Structure 1
Amino acid sequence: MQAERLNDAGFRPPDAASGLFGALPEASSAAEESGNKAAPHHGTGHRARLRQRLAEGGPEALLDHELVEYLLALAIPRRDTKPLAKALIAHFGGINGVLTADWDALCNYPGMGETSTAALKMAQAAALRLLRAPIAQQPILSSWQALLDYLRADMAHLKVERVRVLHLNARNILIRDEHMADGSVDQAAIYTREVIRRAIDLGSTSLILVHNHPSGSPQPSKQDIAVTRNILEAGKRLGISVLDHIIIGTEGHSSMRAMGLF
């Protein structure tokens, strides 16, 4: 995470109200089927068997590529989607990588398009809302594991560094989960002034800082520690506490408070 610059007047973080994915475009699946009409598809029999296995055995009854295959089939029903599902999983490094991949990266993959990308992103959106539900209406500190599960699902497989701030009230209830900025593969800027200003606007009593490391390692860098301490000191002067700074990676997570870095 990149330390704040002395002059940050031009910084404008993304509007969190726009949502995690933004508006899903409407598109016909016909364009995504172009060039594939000669390819045989499994037909209703194969998909009916997948449905039956899911109904009888639950989520664990289907393999990862079968879940992706069926989601794609909903968007492009007249095409055999198994090869595409397997190719996506191989390219993005597993089903987690597929569902959390950038919209454009998915949409521009051969054989994909807006409709099929929307189908995968709808599944991710539903999963994230399911994971977020336990932390929405109860104190964060009493649902810490649920919070970590949600953050890992959302951020562990991102290809760029993302910064977010969790704003809490006096009862440690989540007020706002705010996406502050995206950066490059190894850094994203976070500005003390913007974080504190937003906390004042929302009436936040405390904050939890979160960012991911696309490298996979959740170990904090010297810049991560320096930025955290700047925000910690600025918040103290205004009665806003920083409860933790969590770093997410594919190899796990780290808590700066648990590491004694506060």
Structure 2
Amino acid sequence: MAAEEHAGHRKRLDEKAARLGFEFLEEHEQLEKLLFVAVPQGNTNPMAHKLLEQCGSLYGVLTADVEELMKVSGVGRRTAQFLHDLFPLLGCVERCMILEGKKRYPCLQTVEEMGDYVKTLFYGKLVETFFMISLNQHFQAFRVDKITEGNAEETPIYVKETVKLALRTSAKYVILAHNHPGGSLIPSRDDIVTTGALYRGMETVGITLLDHIIVAHGEFISLKQMDAF
């Protein structure tokens, strides 16, 4: 009897989502519906409410790490990993949309184009991560490399190794990007010093550093626009 009730509830929620659109469901209903995939049977409503209580919001759930999610009663590793993987997947989808509109290789010349593209690299990143985007002579991004990943506060950047990597990719231009998981867009002194060193290092091998973008909570700033290098 209980199984039939749960099946009926799932069907009603599916119908509501189809009628109104997923984005118009209540937050707990959105999470509940997502959990249908990881939890194929049973009532996911209590789990959705517990997760929201633990993490504060749907955004909090999707950006939490696996161990944090598993603190919620009934959430196993499989379910936690599924939820944890959703936010990075959104970044992949957004990059695919950009590539679709740019015939595979996006042209990144303006600050807006650079920022919109690199933001997608940091979906679900809970620690500071540093990327280098390689561009050809037409300013088309053809490769993304993760240079390093650190703790929640900082990550070391190795100038010589980064310049060598840019040479190996045959890049004409590069864009650097890293995130501030703490939420502040203000560049640190180390950010500025490292960017200057990388700019000079790239210049010695005939590669131009176009910009260094800092991302925090879906927003970005350009160190080039700030005259930081």
TM over 0.5: yes
- Does 2:153 align with 1:190? no
Q: Pick closer, same or farther for the CA change 1:119–1:158 going to 2, 3 Å.
A: closer
* Structure 2: distance between partners of 1:146 and 1:205: 18
- Does 2:59 align with 1:96? yes
Give the partner amino acid of 2:107: P
Q: How many percent identity over aligned positions?
A: 30
> How far does residue 260 in structure 1 lie from its aligned partner after superposition?
1.6
> How far does residue 89 in structure 1 lie from its aligned partner after superposition?
3.3
1:252 paired residue among 211, 216, 219 = 219
Give the partner amino acid of 2:31: V
**TM-align CA RMSD:** 2.7
TM-score of the two chains, using structure 2 as the length reference = 0.83
- Please tell me whether the aligned partners of residues 211 and 222 of structure 2 are also in contact (alpha carbons under 8 angstroms): yes
Judge which range, 233-242 or 87-96, deviates more: 87-96
1:181 matched to which residue of 2? 148
Q: Pick closer, same or farther for the CA change 1:239–1:162 going to 2, 3 Å.
A: same
2:15 matched to which residue of 1? 52
The structure, 1 or 2, with the larger RCO (C-alpha pairs under 8 Å, 6+ apart) is 1
2:109 paired residue among 124, 133, 141 = 141
2:46 matched to which residue of 1? 83
TM-score of the two chains, using structure 1 as the length reference = 0.74
Q: Pick closer, same or farther for the CA change 1:115–1:207 going to 2, 3 Å.
A: same
Q: What SS does structure 2 have at the residue aligned with 1:244?
A: strand
Q: Can you give the 5+ residue segments of structure 2 that lack an aligned partner in the other structure?
A: none
1:32 matched to which residue of 2? none
Q: Pick closer, same or farther for the CA change 1:251–1:216 going to 2, 3 Å.
A: farther
2:209 matched to which residue of 1? 242
Give the partner amino acid of 1:60: E
1:71 matched to which residue of 2? 34
Q: What SS does structure 2 have at the residue aligned with 1:115?
A: helix
* Structure 1: distance between partners of 2:56 and 2:116: 19
2:78 matched to which residue of 1? 115
